[in-house]
Chain A
Amino acid sequence: MARSPVEGPEQLFHFTPAARAAFPRTRRGAEPGEKLLITGIAGGLGRLIARRLGDYFRVAGVDRSPWEGFPPNVSMHVVDLRKRKFEDVFRIERPDALVHHAFVRHFRSDPRVRHEVNVLGTKRVLEYAIAYGVKRVVVLSSSYVYGALPDNPFYMNEDFPLNVSRTYPEVRDLAEVDTLATAFLWQHPEVTTAILRPVNTLGYYTNSAIRRYLSQRWVPTIMGFNPMWQFIHEEDVAEAVALALQSGTHGVFNVAGPGAVPLKVAIRETGGTAVPLPEPVARAVFGRLFRLGLYHTPPGAIDFLKYPCVLDGEAFQRAAGFTPLFSLEDTFASVRH
């Protein structure tokens, strides 16, 4: 049966346009020419944010790995944020605004390093932000903090509990980062802070876990399960960061993309082939492979292949006027292999 899709951008709620006036904007957005520090600038998304904001801000960046051929308008520092020298970056640059994006999201390194960089690193970055008078902060958290549980509603909003560690303890540091940042938001109302939780991010530059998962030729799935997944293009995430800074948005926000599709549609559209495995087999095989270091994702991730973790992006839409520019088709096309 053929049915042509409805024209126009996909919207979750098409009954009334969102009332903009419901969110009074008392905070001022960033002025052109402010100094912006991006941590984790050499990562795919960091580079995109730097390029997206390079004309508006004076951009400084810090990363522990160098960025070959960084643009001339970026002042680049190669330093590990666990090192004492990291504070010098704040001392020299004196940033007005900060985008915190320096996280280890893969499992190839020592879990202790992951914890130090993510949790202790975030704590230090936020402490320096206060000590050196940063006026606005954007922290890029992720949608995974909510966890994938069978009784998740579709379209969880921001006050939903961060349940991920219940079934996926390996990424509890991401929930801790989010909690640290939220505590900072309440403790320092003088700093305009936006904590963004973007959904599964795909794109040419981003090397996310979900990108690696979908770029396999044969993609393991769980037999009898096909949850809805949301995707967003990396350019739209960069756009969300820019909007948060420029509109002076303060709060915790889900950043939802153009829509949701079943996991197997996403696998098909990115050029892979789904291989359904019975759950006990998948748990046993991937658990062992992961412990031996032969597979990149811990078995806790299996719940994300079974249950939905789908976010309601309405609050950010209203507060910052954000709408994704890239459709689902564009997003899948950007990583098709």
Chain B
Amino acid sequence: MVLAPIVSLSRAVTDALPRSIHALQHEIDERMLRIPTRLNAYGYDPWGFHPDSARRSMLITALLYHYWFRVETHGIDRIPRGRALLISNHAGQIALDAAMIVVACFFEAEPPRVVRGMGEYWLPTVPWLNELMVRTGSVVGTRKNAIDLLKNEEAVISFPEGIRGMNKLIWERYQLQEFGQGFMRLALETDTPIVPIAVVGSEEQAIAIANARPLAHLLGMPAFPVTITFPWLGLLGLLPFPVKYHIYFGQPMRFTGNPSDEDEVIGEKVEQVKARIATMLADGLAARRSLFW
């Protein structure tokens, strides 16, 4: 398979590390059997999600979750059964907050949920990465895909701040950027509850001091972050600090209305979600003892 490098890498890791890793993989396998997603005779769901591939990459993210970021998850039982739209703040230069929310929903929720990500439009053109994205449950973030997934009672995650949030500089941490409105129109159209999520910790995992826009433009990337370690230490500089993550799941919010209302009407509802996440972030920050524990 194309995922062979990941498979062999994770095999090498599992063989070298103590028994707890085996236990972790065992737990992943056991939970993977209980996800509510339906698979066809070849083990794929209609969007190409493949638990047999996902279990390996899940091990790597689970290791990050348990040992690197030592994530504490609060209020996971607030995710409703059936369709849900998870809306979170987004930060940290690399989208590990998304990965940590995915692991949280897989490890802490009952029954385990596979959160479906909405990928950027250029992701399908990248060799191997496109397949990894699809096999682990994500799809290209088109409206039709999101609607189909929600109608099929899946949990879909979206970051309305998008790249504006992810590539914030360090002194802008925990300041929510402008929210896009697509998620609200989607929620109204499919009558989906919105679960607000606040991730505390991710905003300090990389200390970005500048965004080299001309360089990003030259490389065709959405942003080129300059942190205190990247690009000075090469790829190693991308490694995030082992800050402690706290993920807060809020009470589901339900909205009703016309999904094709004007921007002002939709924007009002979006602001409610944004305000809720801002409050949750403030509470989370107030409750935090330290950056690292």
Interfacial residues, chain A to chain B (CB-CB below 8 A): 1, 3, 5-6, 10, 12-15, 150-157, 223-226, 228, 259-262, 264-265, 269, 276, 279, 307-308, 312, 327-329
Shortest Cβ distance from residue A254 to the other chain B in the assembled complex, whole angstroms? 13
A261-B121 contact, Cβ under 8 Å, with A155-B46, A225-B127: no
Separation of A156 and B143 alpha carbons in the complex (Å): 11
Separation of A157 and B124 alpha carbons in the complex (Å): 20
Shortest Cβ distance from residue B58 to the other chain A in the assembled complex, whole angstroms? 11
Are A154 and B148 interface neighbours, CB within 8 A? yes
Are A3 and B148 interface neighbours, CB within 8 A? no
Shortest Cβ distance from residue B85 to the other chain A in the assembled complex, whole angstroms? 16
Are A261 and B42 interface neighbours, CB within 8 A? yes
Separation of A157 and B148 alpha carbons in the complex (Å): 11
Interfacial residues, chain B to chain A (CB-CB below 8 A): 1-2, 29, 32-33, 38-44, 46-48, 50-52, 55, 121-122, 124-128, 130-131, 134, 139-140, 142-145, 148, 151-153
Q: Which of A5, A12, A154 has the most CB of B within 10 A?
A: A154
Are B39 and A3 interface neighbours, CB within 8 A? yes
Choice from B52, B125, B139 contacting A154 with Cβ under 8 Å: B139
A153-B43 contact, Cβ under 8 Å, with A3-B33, A15-B151, A223-B127: no
Choice from B1, B48, B55, B145 contacting A228 with Cβ under 8 Å: B48
Separation of A152 and B148 alpha carbons in the complex (Å): 13
A155-B152 contact, Cβ under 8 Å, with A14-B38, A150-B124: no
Are B127 and A224 interface neighbours, CB within 8 A? yes
Shortest Cβ distance from residue B277 to the other chain A in the assembled complex, whole angstroms? 28
Are B140 and A10 interface neighbours, CB within 8 A? no
Count A-B pairs with CB separation below 8 Å: 106
Separation of A329 and B142 alpha carbons in the complex (Å): 30
- The list of the 10 closest CB pairs from A to B, nearest first, reads A224-B127, A153-B144, A150-B124, A153-B142, A224-B128, A153-B145, A5-B41, A259-B40, A228-B48, A151-B121
Query: In the complex, which residues of chain B have a beta carbon less than 8 angstroms from the beta carbon of A260?
Result: 40, 44, 46, 48
Given contacts A153-B144, A224-B127, A262-B50, 12 further A-B contacts (CB under 8 A): A1-B29, A10-B40, A12-B148, A14-B152, A15-B151, A153-B139, A154-B48, A154-B139, A155-B148, A224-B2, A224-B128, A261-B44
- The residue on B at minimum CB distance from A228 is B48
Query: In the complex, which residues of chain A have a beta carbon less than 8 angstroms from the beta carbon of B126?
Result: 224
Choice from A151, A224, A328 contacting B42 with Cβ under 8 Å: A328
Are B140 and A5 interface neighbours, CB within 8 A? no
Choice from B42, B139, B144 contacting A265 with Cβ under 8 Å: B42
Choice from A5, A155, A225, A312 contacting B130 with Cβ under 8 Å: A225
Choice from A3, A226, A328 contacting B131 with Cβ under 8 Å: A226
Choice from A150, A228, A265 contacting B121 with Cβ under 8 Å: A150
Q: List 19 A-B contacts (CB under 8 A).
A: A3-B33, A3-B51, A3-B52, A5-B39, A14-B38, A151-B124, A154-B139, A157-B144, A223-B127, A224-B128, A225-B127, A225-B130, A228-B48, A259-B40, A261-B44, A269-B42, A279-B127, A328-B42, A329-B41
Are A151 and B134 interface neighbours, CB within 8 A? no
Query: In the complex, which residues of chain A have a beta carbon less than 8 angstroms from the beta carbon of B55?
Result: 1
Separation of A14 and B152 alpha carbons in the complex (Å): 7
A259-B43 contact, Cβ under 8 Å, with A1-B32, A153-B142: no
Separation of A193 and B280 alpha carbons in the complex (Å): 57
- The residue on A at minimum CB distance from B126 is A224
Choice from B1, B47, B124, B128 contacting A307 with Cβ under 8 Å: B124
A151-B152 contact, Cβ under 8 Å, with A226-B2, A328-B40: no
Separation of A245 and B38 alpha carbons in the complex (Å): 33
Choice from B46, B131, B153 contacting A259 with Cβ under 8 Å: B46
Separation of A328 and B43 alpha carbons in the complex (Å): 12
Are A3 and B140 interface neighbours, CB within 8 A? no
A224-B43 contact, Cβ under 8 Å, with A15-B152, A150-B121, A153-B140: no
